[in-house]
Structure 1
């Protein structure tokens, strides 16, 4: 599909710009805060379970 070159530039209103800024801020919180913490906790839980099943439970 070729671009017809008839794209219209739309100016954002102040409310839309504020909403976009808030959305960007919330996505940054998730991307750089919630996601890494959750991933590291899941990895830690997986490691503890692996360690327990491999060394503690296997040694009994």
Structure 2
């Protein structure tokens, strides 16, 4: 392999590692956001149910 070919391969490997790290970080962020959204939806559902039961008790 020529010196230029070696440098190019090393550079490609560095870029690939950076991209993989970036994608892994984004994947973790997406998982955390999905978890937060799911918790929020569950909380809202529970809130609606409790309001429904409270209004039924008042009647």
Q: Confirm or deny a common fold (TM above 0.5).
A: yes
Instruction: Return the offset for 1:19.
Output: 0.4
Give the TM-score of the pair, scaled to structure 2. Answer: 0.70
- Structure 2 unaligned runs (5+)? 53-59
Instruction: Return the offset for 1:30.
Output: 1.4
What is the aligned residue count? 48
Give CA-to-partner distance per residue, 1:24-59, whole Å, 9 cap, x none.
01101111x2011110000000001111112x1102
Q: Which has the larger radius of gyration?
A: 2
Query: Distance in 1 between the 2:17 and 2:28 partners?
Result: 17
Alignment counterpart, residue 48 of structure 1, candidates 20, 23, 40:
40
**Structure number having the greater helix percentage:** 2
- Structure 1 unaligned runs (5+)? 1-9
- 1:6 equivalent in structure 2: none
Give the TM-score of the pair, scaled to structure 1. Answer: 0.69
Q: What's the RMSD between the two structures over aligned residues?
A: 1.7
